[in-house]
Structure 1
């Protein structure tokens, strides 16, 4: 075991390059990185998508050799003896390989066999892991039948089935609800406290990085900053403020105006019914005051995410100030003036109506008698823990799954009788990239445009529009499967909007993306809602609920809360509550479960 004061991992002038055969281009995935990680500590890797985090972790795990530089893990040279490292560490990649046709117990046994865990150690180790993950009641259940959060906890248990000296986690909480995310971090912290385990985690959640002793910030393969969370936060010191929008106005509209004001603003994001922003040092205060129109402004303490956004801003300082997202929004408004007028004419019309909706799978009720309505041009969030029934609800709203009972009308069509007609008025973007990876960007647009019934000049016009809206012109011949994550998301959005749907369904579209890309994504969504498109979205990023006009929270198939973000926060904590949306979400779900437990206890009393 490595001594707590020693370095568990050191890298010196590390480089890793990849050659893209189709273009002949060389990608510098990791460039000139030097760092050290102390034993017994919790350390975070953060950075935009494509920053090199996964490549760096794979080299540290001995799965990939550096092209240049030195990398030592637990005192072992990775290039010289990768197997010796793999015998002493555990690595949990983003897509951990659970065997879904095996039970929870069988998965644990399999990984114990693979790691050579002695039989004498297994029972004690299993008992500890099952207790920490709260999976002891589910050892006979097939892994494929677990919720997303339970799968992640089982994956972590399988990773820890032996006693590693170093644990590498690549975005372990992607696609996991706040409750399960909290439980996963409790498990990790318990292992650090009890076993002095060294943990290195890459994460898209900057609040998770706040837990760490040290944070490394990567950008385009380079290490641009390192230090404690306090040292990273310091980059935004005295530049962070909260402003409250006029009564009744969604914060996203004020956020949009602030983001457009690049002369004075570096970042802006909705928070607790207000907008948190970072001022540009040396900006024009009079111009900013005029923009805010006398709205109350309060200075606030900087967060790690604020320091992170400042660091990214410094990396982009040589680029044009107007971001891709803002340019796309301007283009969208320019080419959709007719739709904007149409959207205003019908704003407030009910476009989705749900009454007493039920979906059963055999004896299991996934959605239990829920009711709500959604208005045209509204951004409506469907939230809930993993396994709460929100995906089933989402699929019924899209016409992909029939309801067992109840009434469901979408875009004026009763889905129980005319699902195909309704689907023509719907656009859908799934969480996972679902387009044809071997086809180019243009070929995907042509194929799906034809599938939507577009042809000839109309198809060419719509392709030209979405190519401009989503800045895809320079990628039209690129194989879509080889696009960076941000471009894949843009292409999926372009395909979903080709046929000008009345309603756009988005299933966890920002899962695993960094804060900067989430800002860009929501800037586009705000522009779409302004031209009358109705947006229905599922997400596990609770800050994104603040962009919604209204949200619904489900658990165990039941509707627990429905209203504006402020109404939901009030339901969670009272009129004077200062809860953020994640705290409100957890409170409402826990209150609902407590009521269910009390009801069940009363039913079994003699």
Structure 2
């Protein structure tokens, strides 16, 4: 177990100038409309030098606010923050000279090349001309961008943009590096590369790093973690200490004759069940300490599995809010049939090609999706997933091949087909200047609903997604998890038979992700067909089948369990989904290099 927290103000003891951060009783409030939001409440914490400290917490926990306070971009209402012994409030410029900060949306200039972005940020940071060639060479080598200096930043993949942002942040080597969710929306291969860069910085130069993340597998890679919830510190220590606290409480559950989604829905609300999530063909189950495995229904078979950091994170949050209930099941969509009632293909893709000039973004791919199935499109940034998605939605014409959605050929009936599906875009695509209720009314009208029908569906959305307390809040001011709820509510406004989800949980914390997938599972069980792209490999476990794409082609297809088996090797005898994904992508890259040689 992590040691008890010492919440005394740092002012009570002599400041240690070697400590990167000493945070003492920090409070920060915001006014949003008529509401007062307590972003941080009397928060106290410390970090050790030369380590990667993970800042972990749900949406709205206060992670970004804390980072901005550390940088001196915001001022605390109460308390103090010292960076290497320097008071941020008293000497913000001195502190800013010791740190570098990469925010969630780093300001790359997409119309400038990689080299021009480096030049611009070197000017802003006052890097001497004589020092630039050596520093550029070091950073370009570290990030793998040496061969792309003349490419426009806007033409880089998501992972390459993040690495360029990190290079620009590091032009002036800092003592303390702050990274605010640097891997959001980045594929697993690029995520791993970014972590190798961060590890190299810490191990090679003794730099201290504070990194916030929504991916709890990344939290497990940190040297130490700070867990935030509603502006409070609820835990601090080494990740292994948190993980081992869950020993003996983690299981895989199966039940003969019951689908994994039905089993998850049955187990999640049981007293003594802390967590239940779909994992491959089983349900990963976390039991409360007082819950014995033999207290579960007789038809459930349990297999003990090693605990993971995410188990403890969920356990701590559930302990603070024991009344939290699973998300209500979304009602069955109009026209849908129960899952498994029909084996016919609802989505058919045959020899699909998309050409942009000389560049072939999608290269002769074929697959089909059955009714009531959750089907995943996985791939590295730039693999062609989003292009395929847009063609299936009728938003982009195919260059060649055949596309049928719910029986309609998209070449001749794209508008009719679009009326049968719901679409949730990769980025928050609602209207930020409108309130929650105004967005719901707009999308009801856009889908052709009016009068009593529109009022009924808007009322359903407000109840189903618990939006009543925020109905008059401006949409852009909502926490990411609530933005996601609203986006899904709008996509379901017209009760579609098919739902397209383009990286729907990018950057969303694990609790909001669980709530989201409970709703999606309920829709699939009711017969709604779901096509999803994701970079979050744990999320791929929810899929019945999936394909992995690279360079516009399909590398592999099958169930999550089959793809994990395909990624098995002597080095990885029991690969997870991410291990299998990376193995397949790296093998394809090696084959491409060999053929080009």
| Residues 195, 338 of structure 1: alpha-carbon distance in 2 compared, 3 angstrom cutoff | closer
- 1:229-378 to 2 correspondence within 5 Å? 229-246=239-256, 251-261=260-270, 263-283=271-291, 285-290=293-298, 293-295=299-301, 297-317=302-322, 320-323=323-326, 325=327, 328-329=328-329, 332-333=330-331, 336=332, 342-343=337-338, 347-378=342-373
1:162 is the counterpart of 2:172 = yes
Residue number in structure 2 paired with 1:72: 82
Contact persistence 1:235–1:310 (CA under 8 A): no
Note the alpha carbon deviations across 1:525-576, whole angstroms, 9 max, x for none.
Answer: 0001111111111111101111001111100001101111112122222799
Between 1:87-96 and 1:413-422, the stretch displaced more is 413-422
- Counterpart CA distance in 1 for 2:350 and 2:363 is 11
After superposition, give the CA deviation of every residue in 1:492-523 in whole Å (9 maximum; x if it has no partner). 11111111111111111111111111111110
Tell me if the contact between 1:348 and 1:376 (Cα under 8 Å) persists in the aligned partners. yes
Matched, 1:82 2:124: no
The match for 1:530 is 525
Q: Which residue of 2 aligns with 1:135?
A: 145
CA distance in 2 between counterparts of 1:337 and 1:375 reads 16
Paired positions, count: 582
Moved over 6 A (4+): none
Q: Is the 8 A contact 2:252 2:285 kept in 1?
A: yes
Secondary structure in structure 2 of the residue aligned to 1:587: helix
* Cα distance in 2 between the residues matched to 1:184 and 1:71: 28
Cα distance change, pair 210–344 in 1 and its aligned pair in 2 (3 A):
closer
Kindly state the Cα deviation for residue 250 of structure 1 after the two structures are TM-superposed: 5.2
1:563 pairs with 2:558 = yes
Residue 108 (structure 2) pairs with residue 98 (structure 1) = yes
Q: Distance in 1 between matches of 2:416 and 2:539?
A: 31
SS at match of 1:573: coil
- Paired position in structure 1 for 2:400: 405
Unpaired runs of 5+ residues, structure 2, are 1-14
C-alpha separation in 2, matches of 1:194 and 1:267: 39
Deviation at 1:272, TM superposition (A): 4.7
Contact 2:339–2:371, Cα closer than 8 Å, also in 1 = no
Gaps (5+ residues) in structure 1?
602-606
What is the Cα deviation at residue 299 of structure 1? Answer: 2.4
Give the match's secondary structure for 2:432. coil
1:443 and 2:443 correspond: no
Cα distance in 2, alignment partners of residues 574 and 87 from structure 1: 47
Asked whether the 8 Å contact 2:18–2:49 carries over to 1, the reply is: yes
Does structure 2 conserve the Cα–Cα contact (< 8 Å) formed by 1:42 and 1:198?
Answer: yes
Q: Contact (CA 8 Å) 2:18, 2:85: kept in 1 or not?
A: no
Q: 1:461 to 1:398 in 2, by over 3 A?
A: same
Residue range with higher mean Cα deviation, 223-232 or 380-389: 223-232
Counterpart of 1:147?
A: 157
SS in 2 for 1:7: coil
C-alpha contact (below 8 Å) 1:5/1:39 kept by paired residues:
no
Q: 2 CA distance for matches of 1:18 and 1:425? A: 42
Q: What is the RMSD of the two structures over their aligned residues, measured on CA atoms?
A: 2.0
Distance 2:269 2:364 in 1: 43
Q: Distance in 2 between matches of 1:52 and 1:321?
A: 20
